[in-house]
């Protein structure tokens, strides 16, 4: 608390002016980071939480060095980001999603808040673990294929955690991977033994903090993308291509499993593709286009491949007729 002492006499107009200044200052200080970034005309990019380390350590400085623009990023679960945009809590220039569905929510909204998306990289699910975990020896053996990975996760006392399927694509990807394991290993008990209920409250944590909990030793293993495990220097177990959602050749096999959300929306298994859009909330369109160009530039691709994300030939979804010429030129 502090006290403001005003000496002398002030008329009503002076008091009103001072009050306005104080109110305006309070509003500016209270703005969330995203709004402050918009007012500064920076490039505001909201991205899937699995990209936090990659953005902080690599993409932000690289983009700034290459373009001279100031990239302001915020990472959360992709579904959560989509909901925040729909609710008016965030107004990004670019939205990077770990699946196309969160962007399609914006496209299908009335009125639409986005009109198209472009796939730019593929990913895969792995089991990342803490090398100092009491179970690290068995987890390492599983990573070498010496013992089944799912049997290690079933060990008593091992703390395996994941993200919320209602807020994050990785959450429903994890459920699909476990269901695919049932089919691949011809064992109908794997999913229920490892995960229990789809929204098992004991296992679910926000994506932004899950890996921090793992690194600090509070948990033993997590369902992760390969790129986030590499970016954080975490050891991980590679899963068979038939279940890790990385290989388009197994699309029909992936499609055999699904997740049904709280709104009775059913999501079928498919290869993991990261996508971006420039939503109607964009304020810095030139900066947004510069970022889209950066993603497919040699510098951008080098960062993606360096952490295990595989750049793919850009594929457009939604209404391609609404693409700006600068974006259309990038995918031809």
103-148 residue pLDDT tens: 999 999 999 999 999 999 999 999 999 999 999 999 999 999 999 9
Burial (CB count within 10 angstroms: exposed 0-12, middle 13-18, buried 19+), residue 121: buried
pLDDT at 26 over 90: no
The neighbour count for residue 33, using CB atoms within 10 Å, is: 12
Task: Count CB-CB contacts under 10 A for residue 305.
Answer: 13
Q: What SS3 state is found at 208?
A: helix
Q: Is the pLDDT reported for residue 5 higher than 70?
A: no
Tokens matching residue 243: 């279940």
Assigned superfamily of 36-122+272-330: Periplasmic binding protein-like II (3.40.190.10)
Angle 285-295/60-67 helices, nearest 10 degrees?
A: 110
Counting beta carbons within 10 angstroms of the beta carbon of residue 67, is it exposed (0 to 12), middle (13 to 18) or buried (19 or more)? middle
Q: Mapping DSSP to helix (H, G, I), strand (E, B) and coil, where does residue 165 land?
A: coil
Q: Please compute Rg for the chain using Cα positions.
A: 23
- State the SS3 of 299-316: HHHHHHHHCCCEEEEEEE
What is the residue extent of each domain of the chain?
36-122+272-330, 125-268
CA-to-CA distance for 274 and 36, rounded, in angstroms? 27
Q: Given 3.40.190.10, 3.40.605.10, 3.40.50.10320, 3.10.290.10, which CATH number is that of 125-268?
A: 3.40.190.10
Q: How confident is the model at residue 189 (pLDDT cuts 50, 70, 90)?
A: very high
Whether 274 shows a pLDDT value over 70: the answer reads: yes
Which pTM value belongs to this model?
0.83
Local confidence band at 41 (pLDDT 50, 70, 90 cut-offs): low
Helix residue spans in 154-231 (DSSP H): 169-184, 190-195, 207-215, 226-231
Assign 162 a pLDDT band (cuts: 50, 70, 90). Answer: very high
């Amino acid at each position: 608390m502090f006290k403001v002492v005003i000496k002398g006499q002030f008329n009503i107009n002076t008091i009103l002016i001072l009050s306005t200044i104080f109110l305006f200052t309070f509003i500016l200080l209270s703005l969330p980071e995203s709004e402050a970034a918009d007012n500064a005309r920076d490039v505001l990019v909201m991205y899937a939480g699995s990209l936090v380390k990659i953005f902080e350590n690599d993409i932000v400085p690289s983009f700034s060095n290459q373009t001279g623009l100031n990239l302001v990023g915020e990472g959360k679960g992709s579904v959560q980001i989509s909901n925040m945009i729909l609710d008016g809590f965030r107004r990004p220039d670019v939205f990077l999603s770990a699946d196309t569905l969160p962007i399609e929510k914006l496209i299908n909204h009335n009125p639409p808040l986005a009109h198209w998306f472009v796939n730019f990289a593929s990913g895969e699910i792995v089991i990342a673990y803490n090398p100092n975990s009491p179970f690290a020896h068995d987890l390492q053996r599983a990573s070498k294929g010496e013992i089944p990975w799912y049997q290690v996760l079933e060990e008593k006392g091992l703390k395996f955690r994941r993200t919320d399927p209602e807020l994050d694509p990785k959450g429903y990807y994890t459920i699909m991977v476990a269901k695919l394991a049932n089919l691949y290993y011809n064992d109908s008990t794997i999913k229920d033994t490892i995960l229990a209920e789809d929204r098992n409250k004991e296992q679910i944590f926000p994506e932004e903090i899950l890996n921090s909990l793992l690194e600090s030793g509070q948990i033993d293993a997590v369902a992760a993308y390969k790129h986030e495990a590499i970016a954080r220097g975490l050891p991980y177990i590679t899963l068979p291509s038939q279940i890790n959602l990385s290989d388009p050749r197994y699309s029909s096999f992936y499609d055999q499993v699904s997740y049904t959300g709280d709104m009775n929306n059913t999501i079928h298994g498919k290869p993991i593709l990261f996508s971006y859009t420039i939503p109607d909330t964009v304020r810095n369109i030139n900066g947004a286009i510069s970022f889209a160009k950066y993603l497919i530039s040699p510098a951008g691709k080098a960062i993606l491949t360096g952490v295990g994300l595989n750049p793919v030939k850009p594929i457009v979804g939604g209404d391609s007729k609404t693409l700006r010429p600068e974006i259309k030129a990038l995918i031809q």
